[in-house]
Amino acid sequence: MVSSLLLPPPHLPTSFNMSPAIECHNLKTAYSPSLQRPILNGISCQIHHGEFVALLGLNGAGKSTLLRSLVGLVPLERGNININGVQVNPRTLPQIRQDIGMLFQGGGLIRQLPAIDNVLCGKLGTRTTWQTLFGFPKHDRRQALEILEQLGLRAQAYQKTSQLSGGQQQRIAIARALIQSPQILLADEPITGLDVMACKQVMDTLSQLHSQQGITIVTVLHDLGIAAEYAQRAIVLDAGRIVYDGVCENLQAQFSGMRG
Ligand SMILES: Nc1ncnc2c1ncn2[C@@H]1O[C@H](COP(=O)(O)OP(=O)(O)OP(=O)(O)O)[C@@H](O)[C@H]1O
Ligand SMILES: [Mg+2]
**59 Cβ below 6 A of ligand 1:** yes
Residue minimizing CA distance to atom 12 of ligand 1: 39
Q: Ligand 1 pocket test: which of 28, 29, 39 has the largest number of ligand atoms within 8 Å of its C-beta? A: 39
Residues 6+ apart with CB under 8 A from 168: 115, 153, 156, 198
Q: Ligand 1 pocket test: which of 41, 56, 64, 238 has the largest number of ligand atoms within 8 Å of its C-beta? A: 64
**31 Cβ below 6 A of ligand 1:** no
Instruction: Specify the pairing of strand 52-57 against strand 233-238.
Output: parallel
Q: What does the alpha-carbon distance between residue 163 and residue 149 come to, in Å, rounded to a whole number?
A: 18
pLDDT of residue 49: 96
pLDDT of residue 15: 45
Q: How far is the CA of 82 from the centre of ligand 2 (A)?
A: 22
Find, among 41, 11, 71, the residue nearest to 218 by Cα.
71
Kind and range of the H or E run holding 227: helix 224-230
Residue-wise DSSP of 247-260: -STTTHHHHTTS--
pLDDT of residue 183: 95
Q: How far is the CA of 194 from the centre of ligand 1 (A)?
A: 22
Mean pLDDT of each 10-residue bin along the chain, 260 residues long: 39 58 98 95 97 97 97 96 96 92 87 95 74 75 94 95 92 92 94 89 93 96 96 97 94 79
Tell which atom from ligand 1 comes closest to the C-alpha of 65: 18
Q: How far is the CA of 104 from the centre of ligand 1 (A)?
A: 13
Q: What does the alpha-carbon distance between residue 120 and residue 105 come to, in Å, rounded to a whole number?
A: 19
Q: Domains of the chain by range and CATH? A: 19-249 (3.40.50.300)
**114 Cβ below 6 A of ligand 1:** no
Residue minimizing CA distance to atom 24 of ligand 1: 59
pLDDT of residue 254: 84
**65 Cβ below 6 A of ligand 1:** yes
Tell which atom from ligand 1 comes closest to the C-alpha of 57: 21
pLDDT of residue 238: 96
Find, among 68, 148, 56, 53, the residue nearest to 100 by Cα.
68
Q: How far is the CA of 105 from the centre of ligand 2 (A)?
A: 6
Residue minimizing CA distance to atom 19 of ligand 1: 60
